Amino acid sequence: MSADGIFNEIIHAPLRLRICGLLRSVDELDFAVLRDTLGVSDATLSKQSKALTDAGFVSVTKKTSASRDDSRRITWLRLTATGRNAFDDHVRALRKIAVGFEHLDNANS
């Protein structure tokens, strides 16, 4: 962990950042809830979450649901410990950049 944060190229892609941002606030999130909250398609979310999974930042668990008669599975997504640290570092790095912008903005006004 770094006080200034560490910029992470994988997380920085806008949708991936939003996925991590939502997963950071919970223990696990259902794929459908995540998709609806972000307002994206299944395919888009699958693609981006796969990139995060491949990087070891997100883990995926599939569980059968008795409440669903079509035998579909509930897919739970969660940030791994590595993912949490990387996201926290990345957000710190972003905040540092944004604070610099606010200082500049205040100086100009």
Q: With binding defined as CB under 8 A, does residue 30 bind other proteins? A: yes
Question: Tokens in use for 79?
Answer: 């940030």
Least separation in angstroms between CB 47 and other proteins:
18
Work out how close the CB of 90 gets to other proteins at its nearest, in angstroms, rounded to a whole number.
10
Shortest CA distance to 19 belongs to which of 40, 42, 38?
38
Closer to other proteins by CB, 9 or 70: give it. Answer: 9
Which burial class, exposed, middle or buried, applies to 46 when counting CB atoms under 10 A from its CB (0-12, 13-18, 19+)? Answer: middle
- Per-residue interface string for the shown chain with other proteins, residues 35-74, x marking contact by CB under 8 A: -xxx--------------------------x-x------x
Residue 56 to residues 12, 30, 52, 109: CA-CA distances in angstroms?
A: 15, 18, 6, 44
Q: How far is the CB of 23 from other proteins (least distance, A)?
A: 10
CB nearer to other proteins: give 43 or 66: 66
